[in-house]
Chain A
Amino acid sequence: MIDLSVKIGELELKTPIVLASGTCGYGIELKGITDFGAVGAITIKGVSLTPKEGNPPPRIFETPCGVLNRIGLENPGIEKVLELMPEMRKPGVPLIANLHAETVDDFKKLAALCMDFDAIELNLSCPNVKEGGIVWGKDPSLAGRVTGEVRKVTKKTLIVKLTPNTDRLEDVALACEEAGADALSLVNTYQGMEIDLDTWEAWRGGLSGPAIRPLALFAVRRVYEKVKIPLIGMGGIKDENDAIKFFLAGASAIGLGSIMLRDPEAPRRVLSGIIKYLKERNLHGIKDIKGRLRWKD
């Protein structure tokens, strides 16, 4: 008997597969395409207090084994997103609200408005505009402070999504844990750039897809060795082999991101592969492999 359920804070996931923010819309768009029976939770496209138009085009570039995006956090604002709740509930899967804000106050207001979601995920990859424009997730004290302040206004399962674009990743993770985060999801995209050969125009963006998988895996392991709260590991997972590596590195659940753009049926494919892997080795669940890698260097 294989048990694929996972507990993330108070959140009970039927499968360890989470749809990552920004690559599954509000779940609504995937109706009739994605088999939600394979999905443990949906993380909706990041939402802010007021609507955001996002960046002018171009917004997306294909790179070798990956995607560089600069969508610019486009969203219609929390009020409009809450109106979608009945539609978002239809897949019957727990919903995680991914929130981004430029001030601690806005993060708190947003969190307080998310009563109908099953969990909250803070996107700390955007800048703290009021205090010097430093990205929340680059600095342990900033990350800890915003997590702690949001913790005060919500009893919901609180997940913090970490940016890998910092040399203090483990300290940021620890600070979030100490401030009351129930779980961490990592990693967000890696900063990169693209240049047009004809016009020499250049754009900054976030890199995702299989190209970042070894980097993301290493980030998950480093954080796993420091914190006790569960991790949702993500970054370039395209199939069950990648997923299992993240479990071995210490993830309790995994996130599917960019692969959804190419194969929106990936959740069922990956889940079937995970079950096959466990069965063939007579293992009973994710807990039997979680964190169990053996360093050989």
Chain B
Amino acid sequence: MRLREGRVKRNEKKGNFYWMEVEVPEIPSLAGPGQFVMVRGWEGYELFLPRPLSIAWSSPTCLFFLIRVKGRGTELLSRMKPGEKIWITGPLGRRIELPEKFILVGGGIGIAPLLFLSRWGKGYAFVGGKNKDEIFGTELLEKNGFEVLLATEDGSLGYKGTVVDLFFKKLPERLPVYACGPRPMLEKLQGYDGEIYGFLEERMGCGMGICKGCAIRTKGGIKHLCTDGPVFNLKEVVFD
């Protein structure tokens, strides 16, 4: 789990996201479902901290990231060109045990870690976004044996409405659910009458458990995203 120097192989705009492939041969074989990495694409110190990114996919020598521009860090990452150096620490976080069959619920950029989960099972994938430019990865999900159900808030693709509405409407069978997306989405999903796990997000410092920066509230007290998560039993999470 050392700091590794990798190289960007491709970085393509896909709708509102960027799909980045990074050659970093030491990491893919170690990465399991639910884990993330810390990524830094710059040598200067103005942006001081690395950024936590979900592992969206992997090949034997490469990691794939789905990036949405939110601040300066993700903006810099989105502008990286093939051949450029990038620094990665990982895999980090707790590896999760997946059942054979499960349901994925992804909102917007939240689809990123769920794509990786789809490698380890089969089931249903509810994929939603504001519009069709925020829908990504459906082919990959289908190839991995997931039936994909789409929702967009503007109706430009699939069901018109939120992915949570679609989920509660079309719930095919009671299976364990793995969700990732904005906080209000995860809050609504807490009402699911079954096993439900969510990828949480919080400002992070180190990603390794040394700074205690990425705290979240749970019924069992404060937990840390980087060492106890990033996947948590959603029923245990206390949203403020």
Interchain CB contact under 8 A, A30 and B210: yes
What 0/1 pattern do residues 127 to 157 of B give for CB contact below 8 A with A?
Answer: 0000000000000000000000000000000
- A29-B209 in contact given A65-B45, A238-B45 (Cβ < 8 Å): yes
CB of B98 within 8 A of chain A? no
CB of A45 within 8 A of chain B? yes
B3 contact from A25, A55, A66, A263, Cβ within 8 A: A263
Interchain CB contact under 8 A, A69 and B213: yes
Interchain CB contact under 8 A, B210 and A62: no
CA distance A57 to B54 in the complex (A): 21
A209 contact from B48, B50, B227, Cβ within 8 A: B48
- A59-B48 in contact given A23-B210, A25-B209 (Cβ < 8 Å): no
Q: Closest CB-CB distance, A71 to chain B, in whole Å? A: 5
CA distance A22 to B240 in the complex (A): 26
B44-98 residues with Cβ-Cβ distance < 8 A to A are 45-50, 73, 89
- Chain B, interface size category, equals 20 to 34
A60 contact from B209, B213, B217, Cβ within 8 A: B213
CB of A131 within 8 A of chain B? no
- Chain A, interface size category, equals 35 or more
- A54-B212 in contact given A74-B222, A261-B205, A265-B3 (Cβ < 8 Å): yes
CB of B172 within 8 A of chain A? no
- A60-B222 in contact given A23-B210, A30-B210 (Cβ < 8 Å): no
Interchain CB contact under 8 A, B215 and A54: yes
CB of B175 within 8 A of chain A? no
B46 contact from A24, A30, A61, A64, Cβ within 8 A: A64
A41-58 residues with Cβ-Cβ distance < 8 A to B are 45, 53-58
Interchain CB contact under 8 A, A59 and B213: yes
CB of B203 within 8 A of chain A? yes
Interchain CB contact under 8 A, A74 and B212: yes
- Measured CB to CB, the nearest residue on chain A to B210 is A25
Identify 18 residue pairs between A and B in the complex whose beta-carbon atoms are under 8 Å apart, listed by A's number: A22-B212, A24-B210, A25-B210, A45-B212, A54-B222, A55-B215, A56-B217, A57-B215, A57-B216, A58-B202, A59-B213, A62-B49, A62-B73, A71-B213, A260-B206, A261-B205, A261-B206, A264-B206
Chain A interface residues toward B at CB < 8 A: 22-25, 29-30, 32-33, 45, 53-67, 69, 71, 74, 209-210, 238, 258, 260-265
